[in-house]
Amino acid sequence: MADPTAPETLAEREAVAFAADLIRIDTTNRGGGDCRERPAAEYVAEWLADAGLEPVLLESAPGRANVVARIAGTDPTADALLAHGHLDVVPAEASDWRTDPFSGEVADGVLHGRGAVDMKNADAVLVAVARQFARDGIRPRRDIVLAFTADEEDSAAYGAQWLVTEHRALFEGCTEAVGESGGYTFHAGNGVRLYAVGAAERGTAWLKLTARGRAGHGSKANPDNAVAKLARATARIADYEWPVRLVPAVRAAICAIADAVGDGAGEATVAADTLDDETWVRRMLPRLGPAASLVTNTIRNSANPTMLSDGYKVNVIPAEATACVDGRVLPGHEAEFVATMDELTGPDVSWDYLHREVALEAPLDAPLMSQMARALLAEDPAATVLPYCMSGGTDAKQFSRLGMAGYGFTPLLLPPGFDYGQMFHGVDEQVPVAALHFAVRVMARFLAAA
């Protein structure tokens, strides 16, 4: 592993400074178009231009800005690679935090603030690496396109979706993409360090349920009660246990984790070919220890009721009641999801999509996967690198519409006990400064060789 006492490089220092500055720029996305990423986009564009690049700043609506820049590679015949990150963040209630969520404070070797994890840290690393390449005269093998997007924390309508629709020429030649949520340390116990690279994403299925009935007085019997119909349907959805459906990235992750922790690795390979998915997963998950959390949310589809809206007075039975459900769908299993939702809602409740995005799968045997692994292992040789499926979604869904295979790769070396996964959208979001230094070294090595 790299010497933690080695002097910081300029790129490492810049990554921390850029991340802190970006955190101080409030780009809270409250949904429905309520966000202003332009100041952060201007900041990124300024530092890229200072390095001699030609960033393009594009507004999809007033204040909703994106930045795209291209680093020319040495091989003009090679396909280009997209490295992308989003500039918006989810809301933060300051009273819940120990520090100001937009302070960008660095204390005791830790950077604090909204976006320290999701994902201004990674944006800053990309800018710092681009500047390092320019200073040192490093040219990657193939073109690297950098994209810093708006609106990922809502629908991507002002960000990646808009770029893909209106400015696809900026991504000419890009066949693969790397973005958020993968490549950071997961401590699996007994000194085992895992780095899970995102190679699949569940699809997004945000639903609106509607129950209709007969309005009436709350004191009178009403068998056609919309609220009661909706309550029964949401309860069925909440209680339903979806069947196990293993996609290749999840199956590969389970086998790799079992091999790394040394508990049932041989049986994992054999049993995977002889047992049904449900039995195999039930047998293997207890053997994965803490690392089971890397796969437990992606072994099946899911649907969780999240919002209820009905009625307007306690003594009035309304004619209509609605609810929202957050559904997530494994690659190849949308038809099953639709049929199951029809069955669970029943004849008295209808449903429709509020927002729908595709599930993704990228090749596990692609050379890019090996290149990501090599870059990580150069900094942490004793680690295990494996693929996994992300339970949520990223802008990779949008860029897939241009034919790109998307991977989650935002490398960080994290200390034991640092619950990085809980930092996403959480309170007191933070990242160790040393983790950002590690990210710069890994991303510089990866992008130069990819």
| CA-closest candidate to residue 66, choices 52, 80, 86 | 86
**Measured between alpha carbons, how far is 397 from 394 in angstroms, rounded to an integer?**
6
Residue 108 and residue 45 in contact, taking contact as beta carbons nearer than 8 Å: no
**Residue 59 appears among annotated catalytic residues:** no
Q: Is 88 labeled as catalytic in the residue annotation?
A: yes
Which of 197, 4, 21 is closest to 121 using CA atoms? 21
Q: How many helices (H) and strands (E) does the chain have?
A: 13, 19
**Alpha carbon 29 to chain centroid, angstroms:** 16
Q: Using CA atoms, how far apart are residues 127 and 119, in angstroms rounded to an integer?
A: 13
Q: Catalytic residue, from 88, 153, 357, 395: name it.
A: 88
Neighbours of 233 (CB within 10 A): 24
* Residue count (the chain): 450
DSSP sequence for 120-149: HHHHHHHHHHHHHHHHHT---SS-EEEEEE
Catalytic residue among 118, 152, 380, 429: 152
Q: Which residues lie below 8 Å from residue 92, measured CB to CB, with a gap of 6+? A: 28, 101, 102, 114, 427, 429
Distances (CA, A) of 369 to 198, 210, 335, 374, 436: 10, 44, 30, 9, 21
Which residues make beta-bridge pairs with 145? 70, 82
Which residues are annotated as catalytic? 88, 152
